[in-house]
Structure 1
Amino acid sequence: MMPAPFKKLHPHLKEILESLEISTPTPFQVKSIPIIKSGANVFCTALENSGKTTTLILTTLHKLKCEEAGTAPRSIVLVENNEKAIELYEAFLKYTRRTTLRVYLGDEKEHIDLLKSEIFEGIDVLIATPKIVNQLLLLEGLNTTQVKIFNVDDASFLTNNAAFTAVMAVTQSIHKCQFVIYSEKITPTLKRLESYFMEYAKIVSA
């Protein structure tokens, strides 16, 4: 028997967790997964190695039902830099094998026009830095009308003004979407987001 909160996840995710021999959720996952699944905006705070990244992947894929749909991305995940984007992309692939779901890496080393044309062909999850996502928006290379869940992984990097400004620009283009911010603690910078797109956000800490 899968323990709660894993047992209410999409059947494919439960299979993958079993194959990865992950049977026990961390205390953070026990608290956070049900709240994220409820559809609320959430600030998720926990120390490193609490299972934040796995939570991000599981809740995103669960929301997208582990299958492709349409051509516009239904999830955007922002990360601090290109190395983290690649790392997270590879982590996602462990959970999307044998599914039709399309995870796309907005690699900063590629030309923006190439990213634009590949995204246009159809993706479900976009993983990239705020700078890349903002550039794509400015070039009309990203349709945000279908975004259902917007995650920021390890959001402490938003203390950087350029990153913060880029996130503000990106989120202004998105309507009716769930926002989930992951960090070790809620900094004054993250608190500021409550005045923008994180209003009425719940806080989960472990």
Structure 2
Amino acid sequence: MSFKKLIQPLKEALETKGFNSPLPFQKSILPKIKGGASLFCIAPLGSGKTTSIVLSVIQKLKGEAFEDAPRALIFVKDKQAALNLELEFNGYLRGTDLRVYCAYDQKNIDDQRNEIYDGVDIVIATPKRLNKLYYLNGINLNKIQMFIVEDAEFLFQNNNLGEIARTPESIGKCQYLVFSTKFDTRFERWQDSFMYNAQVITSK
């Protein structure tokens, strides 16, 4: 998929940043993501994985806010990773009205519940905080269309794998995307459950 097939705000943002064409790995995964496939995207640092997340989410949501419940959920390692990804999104949101929200452990959970209730489109969350919000009825997952894990190596620390694996039980039909530098055999558990038929795309 060329950048020409993206919505206008994304094309303008890419032009501003001087990105004229996708990187090789992006050429492999962006069309499949746009087509709705669930994927394990395996590539080294510098392959364009984070930019692919941002472009794919904004494109899927058509750059338009809609109602109050989030439609994209992105899991990250910690507060800093959440803030970094939010910053990446902010670089592509001009010309859209999408609302991005970070949910992490260091912030008052009641404040987070209230802020999410006001309406968000994209939630970037740490696993433990997302689960706490869900069990406190602080977030509605019924409208989630994209479930994404960025830099998934962190899943195998501090029971993060178990925390995240429970979330799909609360989600209906959804696209699942996992981005990592390597395919861990423990991902096979997900292939046997909610990521059944997911493709593994590896950088060449």
Q: TM-score, normalised by structure 2?
A: 0.96
- CA deviations 1:114-168 (Å, max 9, x no partner) are 1011000000000011111111111011101111111100111111252011101
Query: Is residue 130–residue 170 contact of structure 1 (8 Å, CA) maintained in 2?
Result: no
Contact 1:102/1:125 (CA < 8 Å) preserved in 2?
A: yes
Verify the 8 A CA contact 2:151 2:179 in the aligned structure 1.
yes
Q: Which residue is equivalent to 1:121?
A: 118
Q: CA-to-partner distance for each residue in 1:36-93, whole Å, 9 max, x for gaps?
A: 1110111101000100000000001100001100100000000011110110011111
What amino acid is aligned across from residue 49 of structure 2 in structure 1? K
Count of aligned positions = 203
1:162-181 aligned within 5 A? 162-181=159-178
Q: Could you tell me how far apart the structure 2 residues matched to 1:16 and 1:96 are?
A: 8
Shift of 1:10: 1.3
Question: Is 1:107 aligned to residue 115 of structure 2?
Answer: no
Residues 32-43 of structure 1 aligned to structure 2 (within 5 Å): 32-43=29-40
Q: Report SS of the residue matched to 1:73.
A: coil
Q: Which amino acid aligns with 2:92?
A: Y
Runs of 4+ in 1 over 3 A off after TM superposition: none
Quote the Cα distance in structure 2 between the aligned partners of 1:107 and 1:79. Answer: 9
Q: Which has the larger displacement, 94-103 or 37-46?
A: 94-103
Structure 2 counterpart of 1:130: 127
User: Which residue of the partner structure matches residue 71 of structure 1?
Assistant: 68
Q: Distance in 1 between matches of 2:188 and 2:94?
A: 36
- Secondary structure of the residue that 1:114 maps to in structure 2? helix
Q: Where in structure 2 are the equivalents of 1:17-166 lying within 5 Å?
A: 17-160=14-157, 162-166=159-163
The CA deviation at 1:191 is 2.1
Q: Deviations over 1:4-37 (max 9, x none)?
A: 4211111211111001111121110000000011
1:189 is displaced (CA, Å) by: 1.6
**Aligned equivalents of 2:16 and 2:190: distance in 1?**
38
Alpha-carbon separation, structure 2, partners of 1:161 and 1:5:
39
Residue in structure 2 matched with residue 187 of structure 1 by the alignment: 184
SS in 2 for 1:95: coil
Please provide the CA RMSD for this pair. 1.0
SS in structure 1 opposite 2:166?
A: helix
1:7 matched to 2:4? The reply is: yes
Distance 1:24 1:63 in 2: 19
CA distance in 1, matches of 2:115, 2:8: 29
My pick for the range that moved more, 90-99 or 58-67, is 90-99
TM-score w.r.t. length of structure 1? 0.95
Shift of 1:107: 3.4
CA distance in structure 2 between the partners assigned to 1:39 and 1:88 by the alignment: 22
Q: Distance in 2 between matches of 1:38 and 1:126?
A: 22
Query: For the residues of structure 2 that align with 1:188 and 1:205, how far apart are their CA atoms?
Result: 14
Among 195, 198, 202, the alignment partner of 2:199 is 202
CA distance in 2, matches of 1:56, 1:105: 15
